Structure 1
């Protein structure tokens, strides 16, 4: 189902060079001691921060630049320390590490400031400012505490001798702290878009989205109530804030797994899963803010045909374009279409022995790295390998050719073929060679599909691809499937074996502040949400050929000169 493209490899790209440098420090031909290299964080510019045990009992922090393929030593502690969180400012003049939550000057290395000395877990993350500014004498740092608050530090810098950058008035640093979040129980940081999503709970759970501007001002732009059970987060959960290898050795029980995904075209999805106590069923909910709807899925894990017991009670959520894969190893894989969500038949679902994710390691050892507008990557936590991931066109073609649908006779396999056809034509259809393969299959199977018109699906999906990239609102207007022309939809397209779907509450987001004056994404999301509500209020918002069928029949029945009718038919064909 997934095709992986090799990217960063901790051993190949960092450890081998570390061993050479340590050998040079110790004046040895070869360094054979264990360096225990660990990934710490991935910054929004793609820089990968890592630590290792150096010679003579030191702990070192380095950075790998994915553009230049070069490693750089940032700082050396003169003793063994546990670095559980780390961030580097864009100018590479300040480094924050969480051992005692230290703020460290890099150029020159002559000052260290303790920000926090607390017992609770702390995460740190620098804001990345406008890239057009060549010289910045101010850095801005977010500090996330397990006690449920987020502070924003404004770190003033000064230049000495033209190149030495040091903190100005470090003794006043604590007075610059600005409390921007109180009492959160779950928080997610999106570095590429400089967005902060967090949950608070009073009577019910409330999701808030905070946008940081290029000038480092921040504003709450969205609030959304979520229908989560009480006490869903007994301990604070951090998402996309680095990798805490020391805490993850004894992870706390995760009752609910939640992720927020955005797309530049103006879509926002919230995914969360709730495994039941007996572990025989899994419930996961999808809140499609741009579609003003909620979908609740229930999968029976006991009857999926799998003999494996999942070590991971929660699935992975893997966004790929406007699809999101929900994957529970050994049980099921659900490829959800977040743009065409009306019926299950536009999303792919596999369970039991039909699951073929393409992943090479245990899903419990995988972290999903999502950056809006960029390919999604998967990090193998044990090996330190990062692979870009995309849907496999070869696998989808196999579905069309029934190689993976053999256990479903007749029309029972049609939902899989319909979903695969739309994914190939709409999402991947810009490849001429792939389109030729699809056309060849369509020509060979025109009369074999029972529940939908294959020719109409091919034509409508191809037309839909032309306009879908630009406007989400067209999803409610453009005809994209022949299914909506049917007076009665075949039952096999309404119920997909293995998964049960129920429609939940309306999303009802509340947009705050001046969203239309903010970044393009929030104004586009608000427009899409308002447009969806308006179109939902209409009886027939989507164009259908049946709307003009009566007029067409009337024209055909009228007695016209044959040449006139022939002329009309020729124009219609054109």
Structure 2
């Protein structure tokens, strides 16, 4: 299934065997006269009570007499231990233990039996107790009230030494939150007791709240209070010492005034009253390490025909409300919708009906989120029991007593990618798989294989473009959380196609108001995201527009021979050399394709310019990051772009089993070479649109395959429209390897006349043919006559020096001879190769004879 759940803890496997051993030992001790067994075998009521910040799990069960047993499973040691036993018939509302496992806080209510009063505290409904359990010594009553109380110890982020003071949160059904400060001292060795237990300092944290959520991992308390019937989300951050801060206030456009009272992640009670409380709205807050802040909200269902839920992306400044049609409703419908935090995604599902993966890093385009309906088999593979999302990737199934680590199932998503038929699903799955980040080389190979089979399947976006941009982005994204603002993560700017079965409404929302001025860690990243939403419009995503202009400028200068400073060009080419060296250092496997084997000056200029512009872009906008680190990030990013292109080409080469002889001109082109030529053309189309560099040697290989695969008129059409770019290396191969048959002569001439003048002059000297000689002669004559001043006519000509009676040619050669004899410096230019008037005369006669068929 798309969601992979790996069990970290299972009551039945991790606790029950130990309890049975304990019960057997107790029974044996009783048989030997050591006293009766404390616990009897009644494990049906065994259940999880709470999961603490260090992942220690508190559980409970009752014996046949109603005695309440508290146990703890240590996540680090995988060992169980007994915490405490109440020899009363009670029901547990809430429970928590401190980090040192010396204090146990719990709220209890009397078991519901007619004619039986509360034996612990007459006149009260709920009793909140603080118990010394190291060793078991004393019980202190914190609250004895008629409303339910929930308890939670704070866990400071320091574990080096026992804490002299513990902090305990109490949340009351009467809608207030208090914090108790409990000092402990050691007596008689390791005996820990509460200091001044008669008077424990306490303070009021919040009042008049209607909803609260505990983040055990980050020690944060989220709660909502009502101000003039307006819902305001607040967050309190607790620190290692006793102080805490109200971090932000955020207005929510939802109505909670008549929704009762709801707690999230404050233990797991099975009281009937609590079940009634939990049937109201579903609302939870999710964050991750990148500074995202999402509030997921689903109101009470008016009907089961369709379900509406909203996600407030506070780190992006907008909310999205999704409406999905359920279709048929059957008995498998559970109590309500489930939200799960999966790092870069939020999973939203109703077992048996739908499963949605919402992209919270890039929620702007709906196609970056995956929407699966009841037509997909993935729906039936999800757990049907309610799941509770804890901090990080932890998920608790309180019904089965299992604690899971939740992941996106990369293998399943890849398989689903192969079978998907909708562009929106392909887009979402591609990004989803890449974000998983495990074994990227293998993952990229799998995606490339899929692309090669579906190269023309997508109509809404270019598969190669999207893969190159997205994979390059995810390869460097972990370096800094601000990359999503500075680098493109998709080739698309908009998406207008509807998602089947989904209606979406997007609205701007007020940003949270930060209440502190000094930020660290997550809060610094969240504040950075909020500042970006406020002030950074339009988006700061890098694009190659500047590179495009500069590259065309350099190429134009090259054609006119007016190249700017050689130092500037040298620096650009040095950037390219660094990228290629970086790429080759990371790729130790030999390449099948002949890339990076020639000096492709144009592509090296493009590579170097992209490095220069991208480095400047990141230096402008990445504050507080070392210049050396940014430079390495840029090299890695551009190297990744080139490497992905190489991987696509290598995979195609390998798939079609091509060999080096595929590049020889003495064989007929095969179907495999046609396929490789086609994929290269698609790569070229994808990179040209985004103006991305190609590996040096790509154009040469493309031209050679084009000559082998295309008829001459198609080949010339591709060349004239810029699909095939003639490189000096490719044309040199043609001139040397092709013989002078009539067909090849026509091909060579057609290509030579399409070359830039400077390149054409070099190539012509490699072809011993009248056409080549004619072109060389023309260029020589053009050079000689550029500044020629016409001399007075002389009727006297020394005919003895001319062997052919062809007066126009004789006169022309006489003029060239005079110019050459009067200016010997003309022979000093590079590549002259003894071209003179005599050579021009012979070339003209040979070419004339060839044209006349003589």
Aligned position for 1:227 = 253
1:501 paired with 2:504, answer yes
Aligned equivalent of 1:137, options 164, 173, 183 = 164
Q: State the match for 2:198 in structure 1.
A: 171
Cα 1:426/1:250, change in 2 over 3 Å? closer
Q: Is the 8 A contact 1:361 1:380 kept in 2?
A: no
Shift, 1:399, TM fit: 2.5
Once the 2 structures are TM-superposed, how far is the Cα of residue 434 of structure 1 from its aligned partner?
2.0
Q: RMSD across aligned C-alpha pairs, in angstroms? A: 2.5
Report what 1:330 is aligned to.
Answer: 352
Moved more, 379-388 or 561-570: 561-570
CA gap of 1:126–1:396, structure 2 versus 1, over 3 A, is same
- Superposed CA deviations along residues 170-209 of structure 1, whole A, max 9, x for unmatched, are 1112xx1111111110000111111000000122100000
Q: 2:42 matched to which residue of 1? A: 34
Report Cα offsets for 1:239-280 as digits up to 9, x if no partner: 111111124674236342111111122111111112441332
Say if 2:354 and 2:379, in contact at 8 Å, map to a contact too.
no
- Higher mean C-alpha displacement, 197-206 vs 283-292: 283-292
Residues 410-461 of structure 1: CA distance to partner in whole angstroms, max 9, x if unpaired? xxx0110011111222333643222211111122222222221111111101
Change (3 A) 1:56 1:333: closer
Deviations 1:520-540 (A, max 9, x none): 1112210121023322x22x5
**Displacement, 1:542?**
2.3
**Which residue pairs with 1:296 in the alignment?**
321
For residue 233 of structure 1, report the CA deviation from its aligned partner: 2.1
Question: Greater helix share, 1 or 2?
Answer: 2
Taking the aligned partners of 1:256 and 1:57, their CA distance within structure 2 comes to 34
**Which stretch shows the higher mean deviation, 344-353 or 50-59?**
50-59
Look up the match of 1:431.
440
2:128 is matched with which residue? 101
Using the size of structure 2 for normalisation, the TM-score is: 0.61
CA pair 464-358 structure 1, distance change in 2 beyond 3 A: farther
Shift of 1:360: 5.5
Q: Structure 1's 93 and 490: CA in aligned 2 closer, same or farther, altered over 3 A?
A: closer
- In the alignment, structure 1 segments of 5+ residues that lack a partner are none
Deviation of residue 490 (structure 1)? 6.2
Partner of 2:535: 534
Are residues 1:367 and 2:385 paired?
A: no
Larger CA deviation: 211-220 vs 347-356: 347-356
Structure 1 residues 230 and 570: alpha-carbon distance in aligned structure 2, compared to 1, 3 A threshold: closer
Q: Which of 461, 466, 477 is the equivalent residue of 1:452?
A: 461
Is the CA contact 2:368–2:431 (under 8 Å) kept in the aligned structure 1? yes
Match of 2:373 in 1: 351
Per the alignment, residue 6 of structure 2 pairs with 5
Shift of 1:71: 0.6
TM-score (normalised: structure 1) = 0.89
Report the Cα offset of residue 14 of structure 1.
0.9
Q: What is the distance in 1 between the residues matched to 2:6 and 2:528?
A: 36
Give CA-to-partner distance per residue, 1:318-343, whole Å, 9 cap, x none. 11121001101222111000111111
Q: Aligned residue for 1:378?
A: 395
| Alignment size in residue pairs | 545
Q: What secondary structure sits across from 1:116 in the alignment?
A: strand
209, 220, 223: which one pairs with 2:235?
209
CA distance in 1, matches of 2:302, 2:99: 45
Q: Quote the offset at 1:382 in angstroms.
A: 2.3
Q: What SS does structure 1 have at the residue aligned with 2:145?
A: coil
Asked if 1 retains the 8 angstrom alpha-carbon contact of 2:351 and 2:380, the reply is no
Q: 1:288 touches 1:294 (CA, 8 Å); kept in 2?
A: yes
Kept in 2, the 8 Å contact 1:139–1:155? The answer is yes
Deviation at 1:7, TM superposition (A): 2.1
Tell me which residue corresponds to 2:266.
241
Matches within 5 A, 1:18-29: 18-27=19-28
Q: 1:188 to 1:101 in 2, by over 3 A?
A: same
* Aligned pairs for 1:383-532 within 5 A: 383-402=400-419, 405=420, 413-428=422-437, 430-484=439-493, 491-492=496-497, 495-516=498-519, 519-532=520-533
Describe the shift of the 1:443–1:98 C-alpha distance in structure 2 as closer, same or farther (beyond 3 A).
same
Point out where structure 2 has 5 or more consecutive residues left out of the alignment: 32-36, 109-126, 564-598, 607-693, 696-854
Secondary structure of residue in 1 paired with 2:352: coil
3-state DSSP of counterpart to 2:471:
helix
The 1-side partners of 2:561 and 2:322 are apart by 56
2:181 corresponding residue in structure 1: 154
SS at structure 2 position matched to 1:117: strand
The structure that is strand-richer by fraction is 1
